[in-house]
């Protein structure tokens, strides 16, 4: 069965410092992995996705994630946090051959302090 | 803006009532998904329709039903509402049946009192 574990429910950083949001996955197959962001009172926006091409995936707003099969991880990073990055971030897994069903992690709330 | 439109944005109703949530997918997208986001259950997949036909079913209660119409819009019907049905209901759409990116709407907030 497929699942994702987001290792931190809350992450706090200062503006201008790096962001690291951790995600581990479990999958019987070669997975497709995603990061979605949810700003307050907004919908879910796709940040980036991995679908078995390059292991380092670049997304929107300066975010990137690296797929590490040996560690079953797909951590999200950003070199320098901005106040507008404050939001809830979801790591998501789906089957590689059937993306009909997305399995969401429990989410990580990112706070950015000035 | 993802291109997925959901109405209403907010809805307050009483226990035992029935409501209908509506979703218009992105232009050209044939798949429509419904997800529920609640505090205790997180984000859960409810159901998927592809070109008018049910394609996949998740944790959808028997009191809930959905359909996709010929113009590809979808409706999620929630009946005999309970307090625990209070949640944010997301609609999402995708171009094909599988293998593409799924785009989410901004959700419909349902409060059952």
* CB-CB under 8 Å, A46 with B56: no
Query: What's the pLDDT at B8?
Result: 97
Q: What proportion of chain B, given as a percentage, has pLDDT over 90?
A: 78
Q: Confirm if A95 and A2 have CB atoms less than 8 A apart.
A: yes
- Per-residue buried b or exposed e for A67-96, using 16+ beta carbons within 10 Å of the residue's own CB: beeeeebbbbebeebeeebbbbbbbbbbbb
| DSSP, res B6 | E
Name every residue whose Cβ is closer than 8 Å to that of residue A5 and which is 6 or more positions away in sequence: A23, A24, A25, A26, A105
pLDDT at B95: 82
Average pLDDT estimate for B89-111: 87
Q: What is the pLDDT of residue A100?
A: 65
| The pLDDT value given to residue A73 | 94
Say if the Cβ atoms of A100 and B42 lie within 8 Å: no
Contacts of B43 (CB under 8 A, 6+ apart): A90, A104, A107, B35, B36, B37, B90
Distance from CA of B108 to the nearest CA of A (A): 10
Put simply, whether A100 touches B (Cβ < 8 Å) is yes
Q: Looking at the predicted structure, is the pLDDT value of residue A22 above 70? A: yes
DSSP assignment of B59-71 equals: S--TTEEEEE-TT
% of chain A at pLDDT higher than 90: 68
Q: Please compute the mean of the pLDDT values over residues A13-31 and round it to a whole number.
A: 91
Residue-level pLDDT at A97? 56
Residue with tokens 């009192």: B113
Mean pLDDT score of chain A: 90
Instruction: Quick: pLDDT tens for A57-86.
Output: 999 999 999 999 899 999 999 999 999 999
Degrees (nearest 5) of the Cα angle A60, A43, B102? 65
- For residue A69, the SS3 value is coil
Query: How long, in residues, is chain A?
Result: 114
Chain B: closest CA distance from residue A24 (Å): 17
Q: What letter would DSSP give residue B25?
A: P
Closest chain A residue to the Cα of B43, Cα to Cα: A104
The residue among B71, B65, B59, B54 whose CA lies nearest residue B19 is: B65
- Alpha helices (runs of H) in chain B, residue ranges in sequence order: none
**B53-82: per-residue pLDDT in tens?**
998 888 899 999 999 999 999 999 999 999
Helix (H) or strand (E) holding A61: none
Assign A31 a pLDDT band (cuts: 50, 70, 90).
confident
Residues of A in contact with B106 (CB under 8 A): 42-43
């Amino acid at each position: 069965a497929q699942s994702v574990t987001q290792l931190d429910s809350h992450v706090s950083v200062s503006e201008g410092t790096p962001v690291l949001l951790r995600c581990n996955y479990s999958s019987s197959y070669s997975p497709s992995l995603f990061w979605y962001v949810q700003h307050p009172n907004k919908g879910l926006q796709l940040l980036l996705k991995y679908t078995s091409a390059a292991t380092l995936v670049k997304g929107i707003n300066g975010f990137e994630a690296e797929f590490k099969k040996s560690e079953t991880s797909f951590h999200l990073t950003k070199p320098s946090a901005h106040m507008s990055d404050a939001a809830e971030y979801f790591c998501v897994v789906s089957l590689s051959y059937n993306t009909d069903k997305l399995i969401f992690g429990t989410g990580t709330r990112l706070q950015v302090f000035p | 803006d993802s291109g997925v439109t959901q109405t209403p944005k907010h809805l307050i109703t009483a226990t035992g009532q029935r409501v209908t949530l509506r979703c218009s997918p992105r232009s050209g997208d044939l798949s429509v998904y419904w997800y529920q986001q609640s505090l205790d259950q997180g984000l859960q997949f409810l159901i998927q329709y592809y070109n008018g036909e049910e394609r996949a079913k998740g944790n959808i209660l028997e009191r809930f039903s959905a359909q996709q119409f010929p113009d590809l819009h979808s409706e999620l019907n929630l009946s005999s509402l309970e307090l625990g049905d209070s949640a944010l209901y997301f609609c999402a759409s995708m171009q094909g049946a599988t293998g593409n990116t799924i785009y989410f709407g901004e959700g419909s907030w349902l409060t059952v009192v």
